[in-house]
Amino acid sequence: MSTIYIRTLKRAEHTVFCVADGQKFYYDPQFNRRIPYSSGQQVKRSILDALSKALNQVPSPTTFLFDVDKQDVMKEGEVYATCDPTYSDQLFGGWMKAAKGGKDRTLKRRSPLSISAMRGLHPLLSGVDTENISFDRSDRPNNKVIVRNEKGQPLTDDEIKGLLLGKDRSLSRKWIPDNKRATGLFVQDIAIDLRRLFCVSLSKLEPEITEEIETRLREAGWTETETVFGTCLLAPKDVRESLTKGLANAIINWTITSNQARTFSLMETLAVSISGNANKIAGSIRAKLKEDEENKAEPIIEEEMLGVETYVTLAASGYIRTKKESVDALENAEQALIEKMTQFNYENQLSL
C-alpha cells in the first residue's frame, strides 16, 4: 500500500468556516440547496498549523517582495516559500518559487498530501442559514461619535443634534443583516502518497531544491534512494519517526481555526475511517436517502467494513446510529495512522 486514504466526519453548529461574504457555499442542483464548505486550502492550512503545534516547531518563513517604480510607488511583487524540506510544513505542504524574469530555475514540490474541501456529507444533512445581528454599544456613555461632512470635516455636537432632529437614528448601534451560518454534518478526505512523503527529488530538469539545500540535507543525514519518481533524498529514520507522529496527530486533530468569537463551534470529530482503497473509504462514511420519507437522508457509518478501519467517537451516537463508539477512538485512529506510515519501506520502494 503506497497511498493511505483518510475520511473524517465532523459536525458544525451555527458557525462560519471562512469569512467570505459571511460564509462560502456552493449550489447543489439536484436538491436545490446551498451547501457551505471549507476550501481544501483552508483545511490544508489548518492541518499544517496543527502539525507545527504538535511538533512545537515554528512554521517556515515566507519572503515578500515589493517593487518601487520611478515615482516611488510601491507595488506588490512575488511571494517566495522557503523551499526547505527541513521545515515540516514545507516538506508536507509543498512549495513553488518562480523568480521574476525567468533567469533562475523554478523550484516546485508537489505536496504528498492531497486534501479535499470539507463539504456536506449530503445536501440534505448540511445547509446555510442566515441571521441579522447588531453591533450595539448604546449602553456606554463614553462612546466617541464622529460625523463628517462632504469635505471630510467633522461636525460639531450642535450640528449633529440638528442633523438628527426628527429622525429615529442611533449612532452607537450598527445593524448587520443577512449573516450566513453553516450547520450540519461535514466530511473531508485526505490521501497520503507515502512514496513522496519523506523524499525530495534530485531531478535537474524539474528541480525541487537548490544545490545549496541539497548539500545541507546530505550533511544532515539525508540519503540518496531510487523511487518511481527517480533519484531522491530520503529523510533520516529518526526524523521520519518524529514527523510521522506529528503528522498523524495533525490529521486526526485539526480544526478550523479562523472561526470568529461569535461563531465558534467545536466542530467535533464524529468518526474517522482509514483505508488503502479509495472506493471503500467513500462508502465507509456516507448518507442514504430514506425510502419512506421524501427529501430525507440518513447518515451511515460502516463500523465493520473489510479493508477499512473506522473509529467512532462518543459524540457520534447523538446523531448517527452506532454500535462501537469509544472514548479513545481518536487516539486509536492516530496510532493506526502512525503504524501504517511506519510500515512503508521508504528505503527500498522499487522492491515493493
Comparing C-alpha atoms, which of 10, 3, 1, 7 is closest to residue 273? 7
Instruction: Say which amino acid occupies 55.
Output: L
Tell me, what's the pLDDT at 76? 76
Instruction: Say which amino acid occupies 192.
Output: I
pLDDT digits (tens, 9 = 90+) for 164-194: 787 767 777 776 666 677 889 999 999 999 9
What percentage of the chain has pLDDT greater than the value 90?
46
Q: Flag whether pLDDT at 151 surpasses 90.
A: no
Comparing C-alpha atoms, which of 183, 176, 256, 257 is closest to residue 34? 183
Q: Flag whether pLDDT at 134 surpasses 80.
A: no
Per-residue pLDDT band for 25 (boundaries 50, 70, 90) equals confident
Comparing C-alpha atoms, which of 327, 328, 280, 320 is closest to residue 304? 280
- CA–CA distance, 190 with 98 (Å, rounded to integer): 27
Domain boundaries, the chain: 3-63+75-130+183-351, 133-178
Q: Flag whether pLDDT at 335 surpasses 90.
A: yes
Three-state SS annotation for 103-138: CCCCEEECCCEEECCEEECCCCCEEEEEEEEEEECC
66: left (phi over 0), alpha (psi -120 to 50) or beta: beta
Cα 246-251-252 angle, rounded to 5 deg: 100
Per-residue pLDDT band for 221 (boundaries 50, 70, 90) equals very high
Tell me, what's the pLDDT at 133? 61
Tell me, what's the pLDDT at 338? 96
Q: Which helix (H) or strand (E) holds 15?
A: strand 3-15
Q: Flag whether pLDDT at 300 surpasses 80.
A: yes
Query: Between 220 and 169, whose confidence is greater?
Result: 220
Tell me, what's the pLDDT at 20? 52
Q: What is the pTM of this model?
A: 0.85
